[in-house]
């Protein structure tokens, strides 16, 4: 092979059709996720992920949140995204009919936001289908799992057996999530054994959901008597937060790429360990080729050989037949466009290169011996020498080209910060719509949630209980008139112990005795009961009693027999303190639970002020009243919890304005280096809140990053570190080269765009 042919191949390789990028948009009833994907080296690859954005209803709001998520995806994309238009859609199973067509009312939503954002759909994929295929790509074997997609209002469940979806069920959410899932699984009929693996994805508060389902008694029949066919207790796992949108882009994108005429053999993915909310594009990790052949591939909603983008520029909802699937209704690539695409590719790629890609690796270059053997040195001695030199120069040029363009460096510079602490008063007003920097008024949003729970604890109160003493007395009347005493009349005995007569009794007057000359007192026997419990009321016989409010000279009483039955003892009982302590304990626990619920509902661009959390008791039921004998006290409590939130952008603008005058020359501050603590001062009559805000921020030395990158070019790591150490506030530095080359080749790239610089505080 002539060296000129090698350079021709390199030139042809550079003139190939530019790499094409696609959007991926996942829409469900409560939110939106997006991604940017492409086809690189015959593999689909995600290059950027957008933020997850909440959505409630309406085409207008849907278009806004999709645009917002696409914008965040664009920020992390390594190329300009203004010309991107083709999009693959990931939709819930509930949005499509059994025939695989989008329901008319959902088609209106999809076509509406695509039309507003100038997006050209090339197909759609069922969310459960995409996740199932992605699992098979990642794990290498057809999965047998239960996929659960818990929304706030419904729970979506898919049963997957040996890589095939056996059915999908949706259950309306109740207060008992475990029972909801149980009910959904019971709907799958003719299933001998359910998979003992449950995967959760695309929901809020997933860890709490996992805890609820882990503690649920799966092998215990419910009240209806039906039992789930679990052979083992299921293992509950949570898929990565961006697994679903990655599945839509990679697994679904693979089918789209094939339908558009691209050669696709597998997928690549971004680093799954990075959080999707702050993800940066990392070098892709290449997977093995998919184990599913083209004949085995499940239909994901695409039409091979058709590019929907080339057939129709717009697709207003009223012009689309609602019975058609989106893959047929939105765009169909015309035969003319296909022929033009084919012609373009054929003019760029020579025939001999259609089956293989040119490689710059050394084994594919011609050996010097083969080049030399083609010529006779006896006939042309100088030509052989020139060819040797030319070959060496060509190989050197290839190596130089690779060495100049491939290496990259990541430099992490740690500097010593200056700490700045300030505090100021801030008003957060839910009725305010825009931030008022001059008056330090921040718009706020009050969010509420309801939580319930129950708890118990041992009682600490004490109470004396027992029986009252009883007996019989004789009441004597020493007056000239008879006397009637009503029931309950009080008799006072020794030690001022009081008794009451059990029934009304009449005592006759005294009568004279002519024989003895002494008057005979009137008398009457009656039963009495002590007014209180205790053994002290068990009086001995012949005890004397007076009648309350009557003199002894008129009336008195005596008992012929001793009183008995009086007892007393101490018992453990419920006290007011017990009820208060249990209420405080359970309230604190529910407040923490409510805080987690609120945080799960808050959009990513807002933060909750924990110091503003308040609660209102909707119901509190104790199982024992104060004073009742009990060793434990239980409480069921329902609370409504409210908290105040604010936008990061508004708060950062206010903090920046407040701190700017205090920042010394040569320093700057970053929002991510700033911490804020709120102290609630009062709630105003207009429902606004006054806070004292304490700010602590790390001020970083101002550095000219362009100058630093320029000075780092071409330096070896040791020299580069020496240069970095001369910068103000220097503490430490780390330099990572990729690839790591030996000797003098192991230097930082000469191109500044291949060096990334990250400045951190100590």
Q: What is the DSSP string of 606-652?
A: EEEEEEEEEEEEEEEEESS-TT-B-SEEEEEEEEEEEEEEEEHHHHH
Phi first, then psi: give them for residue 591, nearest 5 degrees. Answer: -60, -45
Q: Does residue 464 have a pLDDT over 50? A: yes
Listing DSSP states for 91-127 in one string gives E-GGGB-TTS-B-HHHHHHHHHHHHHTT-EEEEEEEH
Q: Cα separation of 460 and 457, whole Å?
A: 9
Triad 435, 440, 446: Cα angle to 5°: 60
SS3 content of the chain, % helix, strand, coil (to 5): 30, 35, 35
Residue 757, in any domain of the structure: yes
| Domain hosting residue 512, numbered range | 467-567
Note whether 116 and 247 are same-domain residues.
Answer: yes
Q: What is residue 225's predicted lDDT score, i.e. its pLDDT? A: 65
Residue 533, in any domain of the structure: yes
pLDDT mean over 480-502: 94
Q: Are 598 and 615 in contact (CB under 8 A)?
A: no
Q: Cα separation of 52 and 648, whole Å?
A: 16
Q: How long is the chain? A: 762
Note whether 25 and 116 are same-domain residues.
Answer: yes
Largest CA distance in the chain: 183
Helix locations, 160-304, DSSP H: 177-186, 206-214, 243-247, 253-259
Q: Does residue 504 have a pLDDT over 90? A: yes
Note whether 27 and 97 are same-domain residues.
Answer: yes
pLDDT mean over 470-482: 94
Q: Cα separation of 285 and 557, whole Å?
A: 105
Pick the range with the lowest mean pLDDT from 19-28, 352-361, 719-728: 352-361
Q: What is residue 316's predicted lDDT score, i.e. its pLDDT? A: 35
Q: What is residue 116's predicted lDDT score, i.e. its pLDDT? A: 85
Q: Report residue 97's pLDDT band, with 50, 70 and 90 as the boundaries.
A: confident
Edge-to-edge strand list for the sheet holding 667-683: 441-443, 418-429, 689-701, 667-683
Q: Cα separation of 617 and 641, whole Å?
A: 9
Residues contacting residue 352 through CB under 8 Å, at least 6 positions apart: none
Buried b (16+ CB within 10 A) or exposed e, 462-501: eeeebbbbbbebbbbbbbeeebebeeebbbbbeeebbbeb
Note whether 115 and 250 are same-domain residues.
Answer: yes
Q: What is residue 328's predicted lDDT score, i.e. its pLDDT? A: 40
Note whether 233 and 254 are same-domain residues.
Answer: no
Note whether 84 and 126 are same-domain residues.
Answer: yes
pTM confidence score = 0.38
pLDDT mean over 121-137: 86
Highest mean pLDDT among 166-175, 202-211, 587-596: 587-596
pLDDT in tens, 673-703: 788 999 999 988 888 999 999 999 888 888 8
Residue 591, in any domain of the structure: no
Cα-to-chain-centroid distance, residue 255: 31
Q: Cα separation of 75 and 51, whole Å?
A: 11
Structure tokens, 186: 């019971």
Q: Cα separation of 52 and 25, whole Å?
A: 11
Pick the range with the lowest mean pLDDT from 172-176, 261-265, 631-635, 739-743: 261-265
pLDDT mean over 720-735: 88
- How do strand 266-269 and strand 43-49 relate by DSSP bridges? parallel
Q: Cα separation of 31 and 92, whole Å?
A: 11
Cα-to-chain-centroid distance, residue 12: 49
Q: What is residue 402's predicted lDDT score, i.e. its pLDDT? A: 79
Q: Is 19 helix (H, G, I), strand (E, B) or coil?
A: coil
Q: Cα separation of 145 and 164, whole Å?
A: 10
Residue 388, in any domain of the structure: yes
Q: Report residue 260's pLDDT band, with 50, 70 and 90 as the boundaries.
A: low
Note whether 251 and 122 are same-domain residues.
Answer: yes
Residue 594, in any domain of the structure: no
Q: Cα separation of 376 and 381, whole Å?
A: 7
Task: State the burial class of residue 559 (Cβ atoms within 10 Å of its Cβ: 0-12, 13-18, 19+).
Answer: buried
Pick the range with the lowest mean pLDDT from 65-79, 103-117, 222-236: 222-236
Q: Are 49 and 106 in contact (CB under 8 A)?
A: no
Q: Does residue 753 have a pLDDT over 70? A: yes
Q: What is residue 224's predicted lDDT score, i.e. its pLDDT? A: 59
Q: Are 667 and 701 in contact (CB under 8 A)?
A: yes
Task: State the burial class of residue 377 (Cβ atoms within 10 Å of its Cβ: 0-12, 13-18, 19+).
Answer: exposed
Structure tokens, 613: 């959390």
pLDDT mean over 191-220: 83
Q: What whole-number percentage of the chain has pLDDT above 90?
A: 28
Q: What is residue 229's predicted lDDT score, i.e. its pLDDT? A: 85
Q: Is 214 helix (H, G, I), strand (E, B) or coil?
A: helix
- Of 316 and 171, the structure prediction assigns the larger pLDDT to 171
Q: What is residue 261's predicted lDDT score, i.e. its pLDDT? A: 60
Report DSSP state, residue 587.
H
Alpha-carbon distance values, 381 to 2, 377, 378, 385 (Å): 18, 4, 6, 7
Residue 624, in any domain of the structure: no
pLDDT mean over 728-747: 85
Q: Are 153 and 172 in contact (CB under 8 A)?
A: yes
Indicate the number of domains in the chain: 5
Pick the range with the lowest mean pLDDT from 91-105, 460-474, 488-502: 91-105
Residue 728, in any domain of the structure: yes
Triad 672, 677, 683: Cα angle to 5°: 130
298 dihedral zone (left: phi>0; alpha: psi -120 to 50; beta): beta
pLDDT mean over 752-756: 90
Residue 692, in any domain of the structure: no
Q: Cα separation of 449 and 601, whole Å?
A: 9
Note whether 368 and 399 are same-domain residues.
Answer: yes
pLDDT mean over 592-596: 91
Domain end among 292, 321, 336: 336
pLDDT in tens, 284-321: 323 333 333 333 333 333 333 444 334 433 333 333 33
Q: Cα separation of 247 and 35, whole Å?
A: 10
Domain end among 552, 567, 582: 567
Note whether 126 and 247 are same-domain residues.
Answer: yes
Q: Are 209 and 177 in contact (CB under 8 A)?
A: yes
Note whether 116 and 264 are same-domain residues.
Answer: yes
pLDDT in tens, 629-653: 899 999 999 999 999 999 999 999 9
pLDDT mean over 272-284: 35
pLDDT mean over 245-273: 64
pLDDT mean over 386-392: 81
Q: Cα separation of 173 and 646, whole Å?
A: 29
Note whether 151 and 84 are same-domain residues.
Answer: no
Domain end among 238, 253, 277: 238
**CATH classification of the domain holding 160:** 3.30.420.40
Note whether 66 and 98 are same-domain residues.
Answer: yes
- Of 366 and 39, the structure prediction assigns the larger pLDDT to 39
**CATH classification of the domain holding 481:** 2.40.30
Q: Report residue 381's pLDDT band, with 50, 70 and 90 as the boundaries.
A: low
**Any idea which residue has 């050996």 for tokens?**
367
């Amino acid at each position: 092979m002539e060296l000129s042919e090698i350079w021709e191949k390199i030139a042809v390789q550079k003139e190939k059709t530019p790499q094409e990028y696609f959007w991926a948009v996942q829409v469900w009833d409560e939110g939106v996720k997006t991604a940017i994907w492409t086809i690189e080296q015959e593999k689909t690859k995600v290059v950027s992920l957008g933020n997850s954005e909440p959505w409630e209803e309406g085409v207008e709001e849907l278009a806004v949140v999709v645009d917002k998520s696409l914008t965040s995806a664009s920020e992390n994309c390594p190329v300009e995204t203004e010309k991107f238009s083709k999009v693959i859609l990931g939709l819930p199973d509930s949005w499509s009919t059994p025939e695989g067509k989008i329901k008319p009312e959902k088609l209106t939503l999809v076509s509406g936001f695509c039309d507003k954002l100038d997006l050209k759909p090339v197909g759609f994929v069922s969310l459960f289908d995409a996740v199932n295929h992605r699992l098979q790509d990642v794990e290498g074997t057809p999965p047998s799992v239960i996929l659960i997609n818990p929304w706030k209002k419904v729970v979506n469940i898919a049963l997957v057996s040996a890589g095939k979806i056996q059915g999908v069920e949706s259950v309306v959410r109740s207060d008992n999530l475990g029972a909801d899932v149980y009910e959904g699984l019971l709907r799958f009929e003719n299933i001998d054994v359910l998979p003992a693996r449950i995967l959760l994805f695309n929901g809020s508060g997933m860890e709490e959901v996992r805890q609820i389902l882990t503690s649920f008694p799966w092998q215990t029949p419910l009240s209806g008597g039906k039992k789930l066919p679990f052979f083992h207790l299921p293992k509950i796992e949570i898929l990565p937060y961006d697994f679903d949108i990655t599945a839509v882009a990679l697994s679904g994108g693979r089918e789209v790429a094939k339908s558009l005429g691209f050669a696709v053999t597998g997928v690549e993915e971004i680093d799954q360990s990075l959080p999707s909310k702050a993800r940066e594009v990392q070098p892709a990790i290449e997977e093995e080729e998919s184990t599913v052949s083209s004949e085995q591939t499940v239909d994901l909603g695409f039409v091979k050989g058709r590019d929907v983008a080339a057939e129709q520029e717009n697709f207003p909802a009223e012009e689309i037949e609602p019975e058609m699937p989106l893959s047929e209704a939105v765009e169909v690539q015309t035969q003319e466009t296909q022929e033009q695409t084919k012609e373009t590719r054929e003019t760029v790629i020579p025939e001999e290169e259609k089956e293989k890609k040119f490689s710059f690796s050394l084994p594919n270059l011609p050996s010097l011996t083969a080049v030399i053997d083609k010529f006779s040195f006896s006939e042309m001695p100088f030509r052989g020498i020139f060819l040797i030199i030319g070959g060496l120069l060509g190989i050197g040029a290839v190596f130089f080209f690779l060495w100049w363009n491939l290496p990259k460096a990541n430099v992490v510079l740690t500097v010593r910060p200056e700490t700045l602490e300030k505090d100021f008063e801030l008003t957060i007003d839910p009725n305010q719509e825009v931030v008022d920097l001059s008056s330090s008024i921040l718009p706020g949003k009050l969010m509420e949630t309801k939580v319930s729970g129950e708890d118990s604890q041992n009682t600490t109160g004490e109470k004396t209980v027992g029986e009252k003493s009883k007996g019989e007395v004789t009441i004597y009347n020493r007056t000239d008139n008879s006397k009637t005493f009503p029931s309950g009349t009080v008799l006072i005995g020794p030690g001022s112990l009081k008794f009451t007569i059990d029934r009304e009794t009449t005592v006759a007057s005294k009568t004279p005795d002519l024989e003895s000359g002494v008057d005979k007192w009137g008398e009457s026997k009656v039963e009495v009961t002590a007014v209180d419990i205790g053994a002290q009321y068990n009086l001995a016989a012949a005890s004397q009693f007076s009648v309350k409010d009557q003199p002894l000279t008129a009336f008195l009483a005596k008992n012929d027999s001793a009183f008995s039955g009086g007892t007393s003892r101490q018992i453990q009982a419920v006290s007011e303190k017990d009820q208060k302590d249990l209420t405080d304990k359970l309230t604190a626990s529910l407040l923490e639970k409510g805080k987690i619920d609120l945080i799960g509902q808050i959009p990513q661009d807002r933060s909750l002020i924990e110091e503003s959390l308040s609660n209102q008791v909707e119901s509190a039921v104790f199982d024992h009243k104060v004073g009742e004998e009990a060793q434990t006290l239980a409480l069921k409590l329902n609370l409504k919890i409210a908290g105040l939130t604010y936008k990061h952008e508004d708060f950062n603008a206010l903090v920046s304005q407040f701190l700017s005058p205090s920042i010394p020359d040569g320093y700057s501050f970053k929002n991510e280096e700033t911490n804020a603590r709120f102290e609630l001062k009062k709630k105003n009559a207009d429902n606004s809140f006054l806070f004292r805000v304490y700010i602590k921020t790390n001020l970083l030395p101002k550095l000219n990053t362009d100058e630093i990158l320029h000075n780092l070019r071409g330096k070896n790591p040791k020299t580069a570190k020496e240069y970095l150490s001369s910068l103000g506030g220097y503490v430490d530095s780390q330099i990572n080269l990729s690839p790591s080359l030996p000797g003098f080749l192991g230097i930082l790239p000469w191109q500044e765009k291949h060096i990334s610089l990250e400045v951190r505080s100590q």
